Structure 1
Amino acid sequence: MFRRGSSAVCISYAELAEMRTSMGNVICFDFMSIKSNQVWGVAMARGHFILITMLFGWLFMSTASAAEFEGENQINDDLSLLFEEDELFISATQSARTLGKAPAIATVITDHQLENMGARNIFDALVTVPGFGYSYLNTISTESDIEVRGIKSRMDKVLMMIDGHRINNPFHGSFNHLFDEFPVEQIKRIEVIRGPGSALYGANAFVGVINIIMKKPGDFKGVKLKAGGGSNSRRHGNMLLGQGDADGGVVASYDRLDTDGSRQFVAADAIGGSGYTNFWRSTDTAHLIASMDKFSFSALYLDKRRGTPLSITNMIDTRTRTNNRQAYGSAQYRDRLGSVDVEARVGVDQFEWDTEWQINLPGFTTGHPLLKNRTYSGELRLQFEPLQGHHLTMGVSQEFQRQFDVRHIVNGVDVSNVFNHNKPAKRQLSAVYLQDEWEIRGDLILTAGLRFDHYSDFGNTTNPRLALVWSANDSLDIKLLYATAFRAPSFIEMYEINNPASVGNPNLRPEKMQTFEAGLVWKLTHNYQLSANLFHNRFTERIVPTTPLTINSGGATIWGGEVELKADWQEYLYGYLNYSYQKSKDNQTQLTLPNVPQHRIRVGANAGLFDDYLNFNAALRWDGKRSRAAGDTRAASPATTVVDLAVSTEKLMKGLTLSFKVHNLFNAKNYDPSPVSVANGYPRPGRTLLAEAEYKF
């Protein structure tokens, strides 16, 4: 129980039956007088969960006290608060809706929240979203594999966009291996849709859509410099420049990250050897947005070099290195012609893959595959109201994808003509889509959409959506949603050759998803908001690597639910708690889909201390046990727990912000699922420290 009216917190073990300990019946701490050695003594003991419970209890009690003190004071409109920011959500329909009225199950993460949590990259933010997680995947790209609602895949089933520009590349179909550490300094907000989005966005919007909204002219003005370092020889620097206003100007950023990576001990690799992971990284990221009147231009360049925790054959690795690059340029025109809003966009993307693998023992065979992808794209979108109560969105898009400069070097010898790893390829796709947001009456909106895609290599696919949103009253919105989605087979799945583990098949069909959802958003009070939803997914035409070919085989059924409570009082005083459950079943084997937890819990709280002189942010992430793949007789992969703390101040000197973050505070030994050849799993990073200084002028 928590004792109100003082700074003391008491926890009864009678109320927490699962916490077995030889200590007394009740533990009480006073946070105003507790000594640091006492905190660490408790934390390092078996009952470190006690400290976590007390921490969040104290923070939420602080919010309750603040609410009593503030009474009914009006919150300033210009604060980037959890509830106020909902008004700007656009990704669900391409028109502004509140989260409650958006025809999707969605989440918004603001720049204010990114700063307070001390987010190092976008994945630090995405794992706070209900149903989201990620794990290490030891494949050709040594990537972080994103998980959404019980589904994971080395080829992405999540679409990522930057200001509406697609990031997923044709080779993998993914974004993870390059954008998992994408910097957050120029991000204004991250909009996340949990569920299908192909009716509006096409391929890869299978189980989720992530749209990163960058700061544009008018959002930032001046110069901001950041520098910092921390554990594992981490060095990080960022520069953000902004000039002009919403009518015209420029915002540009450059980010550099270097780290030796967390050296985690591996007791036994695929051949019984032991040693340390070698996951070093070095990344350069540059982004530019320039605008003038109705025209705008954006560009991105990302160059990422890194090692790998283990080799592609799951052995201790000192040789493998990847050097992947991605860049794009995109020009947009927006105008209102009469009663019609017009948006036209053209762009070009370049992806370059350059990886040198240690295939066997150090000093033996190395493989060095290389290739390039280039995509030309164009889109025209119109929005208008043909009849009262109807908001129509219609558009056409065209893409041309090309894979070229495909080469393979083995032990320094170019064997591209006799033993290449992939082949040149071309793909052309055309799409047309239509969406109607029909306001049947003031409290009832029906959204109906349909998109038709034609691909030159596998044919046609049509994907509809229906969404009914009922505003039962000023505080409660109820949603019923239906949609289908598809994932186009990637070039590696279609054209990979001379790889016994994954042989391409040019006759693959797209994966398909059918989803039913029901949800609600309930503003319990001015300070509390409850969101809950249920979903049922039917996954068919799964793309599965087999011998001798990658094929479409079988499907899966996934159902579950998510619930989240948010509390928000002031700019620096808010918290959240969410729980996700999913149950999956392979329709052929009737087994649970492997390597994804059924249960996830996320808890976070932010509080300004000492009259907001210090900002304190704490977050807990717990993922339950994960079942093994068929034929793997090991016990389920253990549950994982990570606690992060971030402290910052911006009141020492005008323009100066100092921050300190501890990731994995308790140095928990967490492992991601691995093949049987790596008995304990892939080790996750232990405790890491990060200190940074930022100055704006």
Structure 2
Amino acid sequence: MASLFAIESDDLFTMQLEDLLEVQVDIASKTPETIASAPSTITIFNEKSIQLLGVESAYELMNFVPGMHSTRGDWVGAVPKDHARGVYLDSGNILVMINGERINESSFGKASVYMPFIPIEVIDKVEFIRGPGSALYGSNAFLGVMNIITKHTDNTLAAMTGTHGKYGVSASVSKQLTDDLMGFVSIAINQKEGENYPQGVKDPLQSVYFEFGLDIAELELRGRYNQVELDEFINLAGYSKQNQHNSENSFVSLAYSVIKNATTELATKIAYSDHKIASAGLILAGADNPKASEDFLLGPDWQTTDLNIDIDYSHHFNNDWVINAGYEYANSKQISADVRSNYYDQVSGEIIVEQPYYLGAITTIKGYAAFKNLKATFETHSLYSQLKLPLSHQFTLFVGGRYDDVKHIDSKLSPRIAAIYQPSLANTVKLQYGESFRTPVTNELYSNDDVTIGNTNLKSEYVKTTELVWRYQAEQWHFNTVFFHNQLNDFIITVPHASNTNMFTFENQLNDTNRGIEVDTQWHIAPDFSLTGTYTQYFDQPMNPTFKRFASFLASFEMTPMMYSVNTIWRDEVNVTGHDLSKFSQPSYLLFGATISYELTERSNIALKADNLFDKQYNSFDPRVGNGAVAGVSREISLHYRLKF
């Protein structure tokens, strides 16, 4: 059920019950729905609620979504790692989209590898599905979906400066040129030097985001480019000043509405995206290597492309039944799979970590033989259909599903059904069932290096999810409760290789059950004062150690020309002892944030934001780091200015 972060009006605190029930949500189905009628468990943040939370990147919003949160992990340490409903495997179990276009790609499956920083300055709204989404969106819409909707109609300028050498500038411009011609452009540049960590590194950031669009009658042209550089900190589980990470993501699409009237829509779209990554992380310190004196760093220099063709159809019948259907063709290619290393033997074509083969610097090695099989193609044909059946004024049924055929790999049918009963204006009850899947990526299928050997017989992971939802909406407060039951099947894990116990391969071996409760609530104490909270509790042990309980809280107060907010993230303790890991222990902790905004004029404001206000020192757990500990971000303070014109 949608959180009241979902309110799209600028007047966040004064909407009445009837208004709240008409708030439109888009991600849960192919037709606009209200909070009450959406056939999924969803949470939505509009521009104002994002400003209240004081976050800098879209991924940080996960920490305020029941059942989800993000932390830093091993590779790359400053890249956000998503946790969802007790699963922390960092393998692309959440689908991330920008304006409905998927970012997850075929080499790693994780959107954050190629777009680890999506600045909030370009964002209009962010929608989350908490739970299965493959019935509409296919692979990776496994335990959740995040759809980032960017600004297309704003005219704003913004600037920011902060601690740790942080600064940023952004602009969004749109113009209705004629009745049938509209264009927009957005750009955001962000940079920080990073803080100093005891391991002798910083966590610097350089990011550029650019987007444009042109609407010509029923034709839509869209383009996007994002580049992010994250050096030092952790890469491949080692802290080093020599660590490098650079990612690029570009996208262009052309869409055309063939039919668009009061009852019927038929639209087509062709989209092309290109993903590049050049990375290298510390594998072995020179001090620990008897055969060489220089540190050994290694990483990928990979490029993948995606071509998508979509046809979407919808029809609204006279009895208010609605049918949606569509076809999607996807062609995903890994067109390069090179390696970056500072050790290499030109004669044998192998990486040999001995002093005679030291290259003097990290170098891209083209045509690396061990990565040859990674240059693969995924060709997918998909069909989906959904039927909305308003059987009475109080009862609505959604029935649908999607069939995905990934050539030479796997085929999956992802059904879903949602029964929505609204006995009164204030009460809504939903019973929802859905199945979702994640297709194995090239690394799992075709890797061949000194650590892992791929398995071409892998099948898709899949999950069966049942949810019982109850929402109560009074005039001044609301309360949502979601009970979920996940049956996880054929999860891919690493196991010792049959012919070489010093190496690993991948197998569909893990089946598990995860159950829990998610709660979110908001109380309008006064027209200008509001409290919002979320809480998640898992009943079963999470897959890989992660937080079993966590919560968030937001208090906001508005008295023109001032607006104040305080937010809190609480995470339960994590204690881990493993045969190859020293004991990791992180007590439960609270992280506080605060925002103070002052309206200079009707069109401009300044804001002071603080993250980790009390400078809490904490670690996140990652199983592939030597002692399990990944350092958290310390206090950050920033000053923001925004002008609307």
TM-score interval, normalised by the smaller of the two chains: 0.7 to 0.9
Other-structure match for 2:4: none
Other-structure match for 1:153: 89
Aligned residue identity for 2:172: L
Helix, strand or coil: the match of 1:113? helix
Shift of 1:385: 3.1
Q: 253, 274, 296: which is aligned to 1:330?
A: 253
Shift of 1:570: 7.5
CA distance in 1, matches of 2:9, 2:622: 48
CA distance in 2, matches of 1:233, 1:647: 21
Aligned residue identity for 1:465: R
Other-structure match for 1:347: 271
CA distance in 1, matches of 2:180, 2:574: 51
CA distance in 1, matches of 2:335, 2:187: 29
1:506 maps to 2:442: no
Q: 517, 527, 530: which is aligned to 2:476?
A: 527
Q: 291, 298, 302: which is aligned to 1:367?
A: 298
CA distance in 2, matches of 1:358, 1:676: 13
Q: Aligned runs of 1:192-211 on 2, under 5 Å?
A: 192-211=128-147
Going from structure 1 to structure 2, the CA distance change for 1:633 and 1:331 (only over 3 Å counts) comes to same
CA distance in 1, matches of 2:299, 2:60: 31
Superposition RMSD on alpha carbons, in Å? 2.4
CA distance in 1, matches of 2:527, 2:116: 28
Aligned residue identity for 2:493: V
Q: Percent of pairs identical after alignment?
A: 18
CA distance in 1, matches of 2:575, 2:379: 39
CA distance in 1, matches of 2:262, 2:421: 31
1:257 maps to 2:190: yes
CA distance in 1, matches of 2:8, 2:448: 60
Other-structure match for 2:510: 554
1:665 maps to 2:613: yes
Question: In the TM superposition, what whole-angstrom CA distance separates every residue of 1:400-448 from its partner, at most 9, and x where no partner exists?
Answer: 1111122124323736344448621111000001100101111100000
Q: 310, 319, 332: which is aligned to 2:242?
A: 319
Q: In 1, are the aligned partners of 2:74 and 2:625 still within 8 Å (CA)?
A: no
Other-structure match for 2:382: 431
Other-structure match for 2:531: 575
Shift of 1:248: 3.8
Question: In the TM superposition, what whole-angstrom CA distance separates every residue of 1:513-547 from its partner, at most 9, and x where no partner exists?
Answer: 000100012112x2211111100000010011223
Helix, strand or coil: the match of 2:285? coil
Other-structure match for 1:617: 565
Helix, strand or coil: the match of 1:176? helix
1:242 maps to 2:174: yes
Aligned residue identity for 1:391: V
Gaps of 5+ in 1: 1-74, 266-274, 586-591
Aligned residue identity for 2:183: V
Question: In the TM superposition, what whole-angstrom CA distance separates every residue of 1:660-691 from its partner, at most 9, and x where no partner exists?
Answer: 11111111111101448644711101111111
Shift of 1:227: 1.4
- Higher RCO (C-alpha 8 Å, min separation 6): 2
1:517 maps to 2:467: yes
Helix, strand or coil: the match of 1:619? strand
CA distance in 1, matches of 2:624, 2:106: 31
Q: 496, 506, 521: which is aligned to 1:565?
A: 521
Q: In 2, are the aligned partners of 1:196 and 1:484 still within 8 Å (CA)?
A: yes
Shift of 1:485: 0.5
Gaps of 5+ in 2: 1-6, 287-293, 343-362, 498-504
Going from structure 1 to structure 2, the CA distance change for 1:573 and 1:457 (only over 3 Å counts) comes to farther
Other-structure match for 2:644: 696
Question: In the TM superposition, what whole-angstrom CA distance separates every residue of 1:632-653 from its partner, at most 9, and x where no partner exists?
Answer: 5626432231000111112x24
User: TM-score, normalization: structure 1?
Assistant: 0.81
Aligned residue identity for 1:319: Q
1:401 maps to 2:357: no
1:120 maps to 2:56: yes
Q: Aligned runs of 1:12-411 on 2, under 5 Å?
A: 79=11, 84=19, 87-139=23-75, 143-216=79-152, 219-220=153-154, 222=155, 224-244=156-176, 248-265=181-198, 275-314=199-238, 316-334=239-257, 335-336=259-260, 339-361=263-285, 363-386=294-317, 388-411=319-342
Shift of 1:141: 7.3
Aligned residue identity for 2:407: S
Helix, strand or coil: the match of 1:127? helix
1:542 maps to 2:466: no
Other-structure match for 2:348: none
Going from structure 1 to structure 2, the CA distance change for 1:508 and 1:237 (only over 3 Å counts) comes to same
Q: In 1, are the aligned partners of 2:514 and 2:539 still within 8 Å (CA)?
A: yes
CA distance in 2, matches of 1:76, 1:687: 30
Other-structure match for 1:59: none
Other-structure match for 1:23: none
Shift of 1:254: 0.8
CA distance in 1, matches of 2:88, 2:121: 28
Helix, strand or coil: the match of 1:494? helix
Q: In 2, are the aligned partners of 1:116 and 1:617 still within 8 Å (CA)?
A: yes
Going from structure 1 to structure 2, the CA distance change for 1:584 and 1:177 (only over 3 Å counts) comes to farther
Q: In 2, are the aligned partners of 1:79 and 1:571 still within 8 Å (CA)?
A: no
Other-structure match for 2:448: 497
Aligned residue identity for 1:255: A
Shift of 1:620: 0.4
Q: 577, 580, 597: which is aligned to 1:648?
A: 597
Q: In 2, are the aligned partners of 1:594 and 1:626 still within 8 Å (CA)?
A: no
Aligned residue identity for 2:334: Q
Helix, strand or coil: the match of 2:23? helix
Helix, strand or coil: the match of 2:634? coil
